[in-house]
Amino acid sequence: MLNKKVVFMGTPEFSVPILEAIVRSEYEVSCVYTQAPTKSNRGQKLNISPVYKCAQNLKLIIRSPKNLNSDEEFEFFKKLNPDIVLVVAYGQVISKKLLNIVEEGFINIHASLLPKWRGAAPIQRAIMNSEFETGISVMKIIEELDAGPVAKKIKTKINGSTTAKELSKDLSKISSESIIEILDDIFNKKLKFIEQDHKLASYAKKIKKNEALIDWSESAKKILAKINGLNANPGAWFMYKEVRYKIWRAKIIEGNGPPGVIMDNNFIIACGEKSLEIIEIQKEGKNKLLLKEFLRGINFKEGENLK
């Protein structure tokens, strides 16, 4: 839509295709907000976000304030005078003061079917909870986290082998293919924002490092959901002979045994219910390997316990 100015707020790779789709359209991206660059461990190099890199390549105006809600940023934002602000996994809380500036409001693309899985890790939590479907929700941002009215939902399926990395790409693609129609419908008043049923809300808390440790007493189904949900970051892991191993892909097989015990020479591992056959695994400090390659370089005994 001609002469409509969009401010885009986003940070990870998930957000990039959506920004690119808007730039290709007739909308004007007047500014891109993304998280400030971070220093690498040794402090020698600044790491910029995928959205920052994309905006640089597209020669867009970039803002990366450490505090979005400072007085200085408020004054700059007022001068931008955007018609709409699109927020896609930006990573900062937006104050009520800022929210009230824009006529069409701050519109968020959230990677769940709200009110389910509000919060920081909706993709991972949906998989870890063995959901059969998820999607994106187009909502207006209010002060309460992911609680604003929703105008549109687009669904997609999750199966037993879907990883968080794959699902993220899928939802990003769905969003990028739909965003121009969504913006058009908002400006043409074709979308109605409807209040969420807050009683049905669930929360996708940020993934904690200790959650990635595999508990072999859990069922194979639950462990596989964790493996898939934490692929590609941080990766579900276990210890064997004081070395950490991450499992990237696996499948459930029949057969039971004491949880955590290596069942046979194919490194089948017994779980609380059924067992897991590893497909792809990574030893700490090494590359990912398919199981056949992995078995060439590890000495193990049937009956050993991974606990």
Q: What is the CATH number of the domain that holds 269?
A: 3.10.25.10
If asked whether residues 133 and 242 sit together in one domain, one would say no
Q: From first to last of its 307 residues, what are the pLDDT tens digits of the chain?
A: 668 999 999 999 999 999 999 999 999 999 999 999 987 766 667 899 999 999 999 999 999 999 999 999 999 999 999 999 999 999 999 999 999 999 899 999 999 999 999 999 999 999 999 999 999 999 999 999 999 999 999 999 999 999 999 999 999 999 999 999 999 999 999 999 999 999 999 999 999 999 999 999 999 999 999 999 999 999 999 999 899 999 999 999 999 999 999 999 899 999 999 999 999 999 999 999 999 999 998 888 899 998 6
Do both 126 and 262 map to the same domain? Answer: no
Helix intervals (H) in 65-163: 71-80, 96-99, 122-128
What is the b/e burial string over 158-187, where b = at least 16 CB atoms within 10 angstroms of the residue's CB? beeebbbbbbbebbbebbbebbbebbbbbe
Go through 11-46 and write b for each residue having 16 or more CB atoms within 10 A of its CB, e for each that does not: bbbbbbbbbebbbebebebbbbbbbeeeeeeeeeee
Asked if 159 and 124 sit in the same domain, the reply is yes
Indicate the residue among 165, 183, 204 that finishes a domain: 204
Residue 288 lies in a domain: yes
For the chain, the straight-line distance linking the first and the last C-alpha, in angstroms and rounded, comes to 59
**pLDDT for residue 286:** 95
Domain end (from 182, 204, 226): 204
Tell me how many domains the chain contains: 2
Instruction: Tell whether 70 and 144 lie within a shared domain.
Output: yes
Task: Dig out the tokens for 197 from the structure.
Answer: 């049923």
Q: How many CB atoms lie within 10 A of CB 253?
A: 14
Which of the listed residues 174, 204, 234 is the one where a domain comes to its end? 204
Q: pTM of this prediction?
A: 0.95
Decide: 283 and 267 in contact? Cβ < 8 Å.
no
Give dist(CA 18, CA 27) in Å, integer: 13
Question: What's residue 43's pLDDT?
Answer: 61
Does the residue 96 lie in any domain? Answer: yes
Please check whether residues 221 and 200 belong to one and the same domain.
no
Range of 181's domain?
5-204
Same domain? 245 vs 170: no
Q: Is residue 304 part of a domain?
A: no
In this structure, the answer to whether residues 141 and 115 fall within a common structural domain is yes
pLDDT at 115: 98
* 303 located within any domain: no
Question: Is there a single domain that holds both residue 194 and residue 223?
Answer: no
Helix or strand or coil: residue 246?
strand
Residue 231 half-sphere exposure toward CB, CA atoms < 13 A: 21
Same domain for 120 and 18: yes
Is the residue at 190 inside a domain? yes
Q: List the structure tokens of 121.
A: 């890790």
Q: What is the four-CA torsion angle of 9, 14, 20, 21, rounded to 10 degrees?
A: -100
Q: Which two tokens stand for residue 4?
A: 């409509």
pLDDT of residue 300: 86
Would you call 194 helix, strand, or coil by DSSP? strand
CATH number for the domain that contains residue 161: 3.40.50.170
Q: Do residues 230 and 184 share a domain?
A: no
Residues 66 and 186 both lie in one domain: yes
Does residue 135 share a domain with residue 38?
A: yes
Q: Does 172 fall in a domain?
A: yes
